[in-house]
């Protein structure tokens, strides 16, 4: 590992002892890489089912894992789906620990099904999140014994504005397409302090681009469902604004300022997803596999290498009696497991993660639901000079449903 890489990793370790990023959407030091960490945004029952959903319908609320699922909303159904999450992250390296908390919204979605022929949805949600602090990195001024201290803070991330369309081809086959507009700003502020001056470098990176995806769901022998998704690779164009200012002798002066400067494009990889689910009376079992071909993007990171990412997910849910008059008999109980190999390799080690989740679908009236889930995720490692995270996430999602497009009936 060269010197510059070592300093970046050392700075990550120093961030453990900075303050918690309560104003950001995450406080993970790993959000320093690329465009940040992948958002934990989940909707409906998927948040309690180990992030599965490729083969699932939309009975538990909007399902963003497969655009074909939008046609499985009830006939003439209109759904408003929104939610939020809270994270408690325990960071550790060696015998040192730090805790931080963040809160954010997970999504706001509108979906409807017209006469059972097609379904559509419009969603706004976080795609990636950034929130890190590199505090108190000490260095010597070249050619002297005088020290300077560097503090670096990052925030922001990408958002996704998404349009989904699903169509019923026959009684067994549904097809879907989605178009996403990805946009956002990542801000990094670096301050350099010496005994008699203060230098501040503010850099704002802007990214935007479109991505298209396809989805398929097939019903096999009534109780078995298959799903497939394909997200095409795309390029996010980037630009940056940079301001360099200096405080000296109680006065501030702008030393340099540039706007709209082109930066390297960021490449999102091809993604394939496969899903299977089966119903056994009131029990649902589901499994997903996703693969992202990051190595084909030929991108580089200052710290590690991009590698192909594999995600394995399992889920199960059970309802005592969905038609019962007793409320708790209609509650949906959920459990899930997830393993993610990650897409970065540092010091020949993948930044992978393991997660387990539980959840509940609480009926709210005839058609609406409150979805609550809790997950515990372990990410990274304390081996070498890396950081280990334990992420506790509480998701609350509300799915409000009503029937529209119906002609009034008169006796």
Q: Does pLDDT of 143 surpass 60?
A: no
Mean pLDDT of the chain: 84
**Residue of higher predicted confidence among 29 and 129:** 129
- pLDDT at position 30 is 75
Work out whether strand 344-346 and strand 349-350 pair parallel, antiparallel, or are unpaired. antiparallel
CB 93 within 8 A of CB 387: yes
Work out whether strand 388-403 and strand 197-220 pair parallel, antiparallel, or are unpaired. unpaired
The domain covering 3-403 belongs, at the CATH homologous superfamily level, to: Outer membrane protein transport protein (OMPP1/FadL/TodX) (2.40.160.60)
Average pLDDT over residues 84-92: 85
Confidence of residue 222 (pLDDT cuts 50, 70, 90): confident
Task: For residues 355 and 72, give the distance between their C-alpha atoms in angstroms, rounded to a whole number.
Answer: 28
Retrieve residue 304's tokens: 């590690």
Reported as a single tens digit per residue, the pLDDT across 287-337 is 999 999 999 998 877 777 889 999 999 999 999 998 888 999 999 999 999
- pLDDT at position 8 is 45
- pLDDT at position 13 is 42
Name, in order, each residue with C-beta under 8 angstroms of 249's C-beta and a sequence gap of 6 or more. none
* Longest CA pairwise span in the chain (Å): 94
Indicate the pTM of the whole model. 0.85
Reported as a single tens digit per residue, the pLDDT across 15-74 is 443 433 334 455 677 777 888 888 766 777 888 999 999 999 988 788 999 999 999 998
Top mean-pLDDT range of 21-35, 81-95, 389-403: 389-403
Q: Mean pLDDT lowest for which of 3-17, 155-169, 361-375, 382-396?
A: 3-17
Task: For residues 182 and 265, give the distance between their C-alpha atoms in angstroms, rounded to a whole number.
Answer: 13
- pLDDT at position 344 is 85
- pLDDT at position 14 is 44
Residue 73, SS3 per DSSP: coil
Confidence of residue 94 (pLDDT cuts 50, 70, 90): low
- pLDDT at position 200 is 85
Calculate what percentage of the chain has a pLDDT beyond 70. Answer: 85
User: Strand pairing partners for 305?
Assistant: 300, 345
The sign of the CA dihedral 11, 17, 20, 26 is positive
- Count the neighbouring beta carbons within 10 Å of the beta carbon of residue 64: 27
Which residue ranges make up each domain of the chain?
3-403
Task: For residues 226 and 216, give the distance between their C-alpha atoms in angstroms, rounded to a whole number.
Answer: 8
Q: Does pLDDT of 411 surpass 70?
A: no
Task: For residues 51 and 41, give the distance between their C-alpha atoms in angstroms, rounded to a whole number.
Answer: 10
**Residue of higher predicted confidence among 107 and 144:** 107
Retrieve residue 239's tokens: 């630009």
Q: Mean pLDDT lowest for which of 214-223, 245-254, 276-285?
A: 245-254
Q: Does pLDDT of 1 surpass 90?
A: no
- pLDDT at position 292 is 96
- pLDDT at position 56 is 95
Cα–Cα–Cα angle for 229, 231, 234, nearest 5°? Answer: 180
**Residue of higher predicted confidence among 14 and 121:** 121
Residue 36, SS3 per DSSP: coil
Retrieve residue 280's tokens: 């056994």
Q: Which of 400, 408, 406 is nearest to 116 (CA)?
A: 406
Q: Which of 318, 376, 371 is nearest to 62 (CA)?
A: 371
Calculate what percentage of the chain has a pLDDT beyond 90. Answer: 46
Confidence of residue 267 (pLDDT cuts 50, 70, 90): very high
């Amino acid at each position: 590992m060269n010197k510059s890489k070592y300093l970046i990793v050392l700075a990550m370790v120093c961030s453990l002892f900075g303050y918690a990023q309560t104003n950001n959407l995450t406080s993970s030091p790993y959000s320093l890489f690329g465009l940040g960490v992948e958002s934990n945004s989940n909707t409906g029952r998927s948040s309690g089912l180990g992030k599965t959903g490729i083969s699932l319908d939309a009975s538990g609320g909007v399902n963003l894992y497969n655009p074909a699922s939008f046609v499985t909303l009830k006939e003439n159904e209109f759904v408003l789906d929104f939610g939020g999450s809270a994270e408690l992250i325990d960071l550790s390296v060696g015998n040192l620990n730090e805790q931080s908390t963040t809160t954010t919204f997970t999504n706001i979605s509108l979906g409807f099904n017209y006469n059972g022929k097609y379904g559509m949805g419009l969603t706004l949600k976080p795609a990636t999140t950034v929130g890190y602090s590199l505090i108190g990195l000490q260095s010597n001024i070249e050619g002297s014994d005088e020290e300077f201290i560097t503090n670096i803070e990052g925030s922001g991330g990408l958002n996704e504005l998404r349009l989904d369309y699903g169509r019923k081809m026959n009684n067994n086959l549904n097809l879907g397409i989605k178009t996403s507009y990805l946009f956002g700003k990542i801000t990094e502020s670096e301050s350099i302090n010496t005994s008699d001056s203060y230098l501040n470098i503010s850099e704002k990176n802007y990214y935007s681009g479109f991505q298209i995806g396809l989805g398929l769901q097939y019903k096999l022998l009534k109780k078995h469902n298959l799903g497939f998704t394909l997200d095409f690779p795309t390029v996010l164009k980037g630009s940056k604004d940079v301001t360099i200012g200096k405080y000296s002798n109680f006065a501030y002066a702008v030393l340099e300022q540039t706007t709209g400067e082109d930066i390297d494009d960021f490449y999102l990889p091809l993604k394939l997803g496969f899903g299977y689910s089966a119903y056994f009376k009131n029990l649902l079992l589901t499994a997903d596999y996703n693969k992202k071909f990051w190595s084909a993007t030929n991108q580089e990171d200052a710290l590690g290498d991009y590698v192909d990412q594999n995600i394995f997910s399992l889920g199960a849910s059970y309802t005592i009696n969905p038609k019962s008059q007793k409320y708790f008999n209609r509650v949906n109980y959920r459990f899930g497991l997830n393993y993610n190999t990650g897409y970065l390799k540092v010091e020949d080690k993948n930044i992978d993660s393991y997660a387990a989740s539980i959840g509940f679908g609480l009926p709210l009236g005839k058609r609406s639901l409150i979805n609550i889930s809790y997950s515990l995720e372990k990410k990274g490692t304390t081996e070498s000079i890396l950081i280990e995270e334990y992420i506790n996430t509480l998701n609350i999602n509300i799915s409000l449903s009503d029937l529209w497009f119906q002609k009034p009936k008169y006796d």
